[in-house]
Structure 1
């Protein structure tokens, strides 16, 4: 999937570099939930974008609107199947209101890793 993302976004890595997706948040959007238009800030070193994976969940609304310069793309999430989308951090995006049901989304920060750099994945707290 990350190779496809690199190709789709036109990311060219040099020898010893690769892209990676660092888990960021699990979001459960319920009726009335929305996000106003915004761009993402760098949350990890080398971050260049965001990846979302929409999990199968019955809902209406919740389309994601991506805007960059004069282009607008609408990503429909209400088709009740698993899908994914990614974009650069400087792309303005918003989530339109959920009309019914729940929209469940895994979000990841996309970044470039240099040779020898490691990623730490947070561990859950012990009970």
Structure 2
């Protein structure tokens, strides 16, 4: 049995079990803690993927059509659960005209750059 514990020591520590607590834990507790740590890590990865996807779609709105960009409450509906007192965040004011102009300029510059790259590739 001690061989099993010694074999399991490093994988358990790698899975997030503190080395100082490992020797005092029974086998079933070690296994359940490893599973819990793995599930927590998978949930964090899932949350990060959702946030990355939402951020990418918001960036697409910001670049292509800033007027149709959703509010923070619509983009991240779970934030309402974390607010104290049930107060919702005020709606964002529409973007100033210069920001819209800047977004249009950036978009046009990207189109020109893509066209130039395509022409260079055709010339080669």
| Greater share of strand | 1
| Greater share of helix | 2
Higher Cα Rg: structure 1 or 2? 2
TM-score between the two structures when normalised by the length of structure 2: 0.23
Query: Relative contact order, CA 8 A, sep 6+: which one is greater?
Result: 1
